[in-house]
Amino acid sequence: MSQRHGGDLIADVLARHGVRHLFTLCGGHISPILTGAQARGLAVIDVRDEANAVFAADAVARTTGGIGVAAVTAGPGVTNTITAIKNAQMAQSPLLLFGGSTATLLKGRGSLQDVDQLSIMKPITKWAASVRSVPALAPMTERAIAIAREGVPGPVFLEVPVDLLYPEAVVRSWYEKEAGLGKAKGLGARALELYIRGHLYKQFHAPATPDVSLPRLPRLTRSASLDEVADAVAGADRPVLVIGSQSMVGVTDPERVAAAVRALGLPVFLGGMARGLLGRAHELQFRHARTPALKEADVVVVAGFPFDFRLGYGRSIGRSAKVIAANLSPVELRKNRRPELAVEMHPGEFLVAMAERLRARSTSPRPAWLATLRQREAARDDEIAASARAAAASDPAVDPAVDQFIDPLHFFSRLEEAMSDDAALVVDGGDFVATASYVLRPRAPLAWLDPGVFGTLGVGGGFAIGAALTKPGREVWLLWGDGSSAYTLAELDTCVRHGLAPIAIIGNDASWSQIAREQIDVLGTPLGTVLRRTDYHVVAQGYGAVGLLLDDPAKIDETLATAKRISREGRPVCINVLLRKSEFRKGSISI
């Protein structure tokens, strides 16, 4: 492997584009990609499940504004990534997945792990293609990166046959051994040998593919439409701004977007990856009572947030409101509810452009409107804080209805105070994570990672790896439900091997609670939702992490402080938090 090979050609392109991490699970089909990447200074992070390689690449794309890259072996290596790729597609994350495949002359002939990978990947990616020759490796990798990032971002898949990756001498030796090259007897055998030799020459020495980098697509929005939007916003008495994940896609300078939002002066609700854009607390940022605000608003600006179930398919917004939407996708702009003003452009750039235009306009004073929203916000925060205090004060010895374990609201109220100012949050679960969203405040832009609109369980391990790698030394907290933790708990082994130190918290109530709440009330049975209070901290220790058991409310602060200290020492931690049953989210719907 001292000779230059196809993996080197791919790695050259990745390095030129500033890729710093390649996520993988080893496989002979793709080994040269890994060695080529390592030789060019990329950190090769090998995980325990191919899906988590993609989740980690997704997290890198989200937190850096760049592209995430993963490489997996052929067949089941590729099919294991399907859920993670679909999650990235729906979250509009730009990432590149390399998939190994059988040798070019063996496709469809029954070789090991040979399946029609393109037919599987095309429906769930922006682009899926197979490389046909060694000279095409670099330009097709360039094209894949361009497609992943242009327009509405998303995942792309590049299939790379194994005989394009290894050195030419090695590949020729394989064919000589398997096909008996040089030993042909008879006209038919000699014709076959001639064909194979010609194929090999073409594979390695065909003319380089011409430049296939994609031109940048023109924006469809006229500046006049932005002026019209600015006029509408300036004259609004009760405006509301809703910002979603797409506003952060591809953003390498989130402070530029945050400054624009502050300059706009509009009350704002942040969702998905936009959480934390204005820091832990800001006078314009609201977290509660979004639906009443949208019902009463006279102008609603929706930036990078589709009119899907999270906005009641558009019905959460009052009928009389003027709706303004900015989105990269013309489909999302008009799905379910057609805005009066639709702007097809990057929503982060839209916010910056709007702030610039509004500086030259006088805006309506809105003290009464802001006061109303702040009163509701404070009332809900007080209600949650009172519930947490009541839970902390409850005594199982006095009230038989209270078990001896920890109330989630109380726990999160203490975690909110314990997290550092640079903390990043990775959330992977149902009821436990949903409760956390009412209490925990993301500290900074690009510091909140959730699955996105697909609602995928199992993102936690991969996301935590990606988050820890992109911000070395940053405090990374991974919130797992006890159900979701089982998908990726093994990635603590990856963290140990690669020197990563996230703090994982498992909310252990021995139930798939988000499903059980509804199912028991409607169908009268907990069927399929009952778990055990498993010793997850012991499992974590088996993978080399430090495991902590938290079963006493009086020890919450002490346990969190211990976990922070251990993480600072460079070791991953898993806290198994035994939870009381909670009625905080009673009546929530999970479908």
Q: CA-CA distances (angstroms) from residue 48 to 28, 55, 57, 491, 574?
A: 16, 12, 14, 6, 18
CATH number at residue 296: 3.40.50.1220
In 180-242, where does DSSP find H-type helix?
Answer: 187-205, 223-234
The reply to whether 444 falls in a domain is yes
The reply to whether 436 falls in a domain is yes
The reply to whether 389 falls in a domain is no
Q: How far is Cα of residue 318 from the mean position of the Cα atoms in its chain?
A: 31
> How would you write the pLDDT of the chain (591 residues) with one tens digit per residue?
457 899 999 999 999 999 999 999 999 899 999 999 999 999 999 999 999 999 999 999 999 999 999 999 999 999 999 999 999 999 999 999 999 998 877 677 777 778 899 999 999 999 999 999 999 999 999 999 999 999 999 999 999 999 999 998 888 887 776 666 666 666 666 666 676 777 777 888 877 655 454 445 444 444 448 989 999 999 999 999 999 999 999 999 999 999 999 999 999 999 999 999 999 999 999 999 999 999 999 999 999 999 999 999 999 999 999 999 999 999 999 899 999 999 999 999 999 999 999 988 877 779 999 999 999 999 999 999 998 888 878 756 555 555 689 999 999 999 999 999 999 999 999 999 999 999 999 999 999 999 999 999 999 999 999 999 998 999 999 999 999 999 999 999 999 999 999 999 999 999 999 999 889 999 999 999 999 999 999 999 999 999 999 999 999 999 999 999 999 999 999 999 999 988 888 777 666
User: What pLDDT score does 224 carry?
Assistant: 43
How far apart are alpha carbons 95 and 145 in whole angstroms? 8
The reply to whether 380 falls in a domain is no
How many structural domains are present in the chain? 3
Instruction: State whether 523 and 410 are in the same domain.
Output: yes
The reply to whether 266 falls in a domain is yes
User: What pLDDT score does 570 carry?
Assistant: 97
Instruction: State whether 427 and 508 are in the same domain.
Output: yes
Question: Which of 160, 175, 205 marks a domain boundary?
Answer: 205
Instruction: State whether 31 and 146 are in the same domain.
Output: yes
Question: 433 and 64 in contact (C-beta within 8 Å)?
Answer: no
Instruction: State whether 233 and 189 are in the same domain.
Output: no
User: What pLDDT score does 107 carry?
Assistant: 77
Instruction: State whether 433 and 343 are in the same domain.
Output: no
pTM value is: 0.93
The reply to whether 525 falls in a domain is yes
User: What pLDDT score does 222 carry?
Assistant: 41
Tokens (6 digits) for 483: 């159900």
Summary count for the chain: helices (H), strands (E): 23, 18
User: What pLDDT score does 178 carry?
Assistant: 66
How far apart are alpha carbons 279 and 447 in whole angstroms? 10
Other Cβ atoms within 10 Å of 16 Cβ, number: 13
Instruction: State whether 62 and 11 are in the same domain.
Output: yes
Instruction: State whether 116 and 194 are in the same domain.
Output: yes
CATH number at residue 414: 3.40.50.970
**Which of 523-527's residues contact partners 24+ apart within 8 Å by CB, and which partners?**
none
The reply to whether 584 falls in a domain is no
How far apart are alpha carbons 51 and 59 in whole angstroms? 12
User: What pLDDT score does 172 carry?
Assistant: 80
Instruction: State whether 239 and 190 are in the same domain.
Output: no
Instruction: State whether 410 and 526 are in the same domain.
Output: yes
The reply to whether 293 falls in a domain is yes
Instruction: State whether 451 and 510 are in the same domain.
Output: yes
Question: Which structural domain range is residue 439 located in?
Answer: 394-578
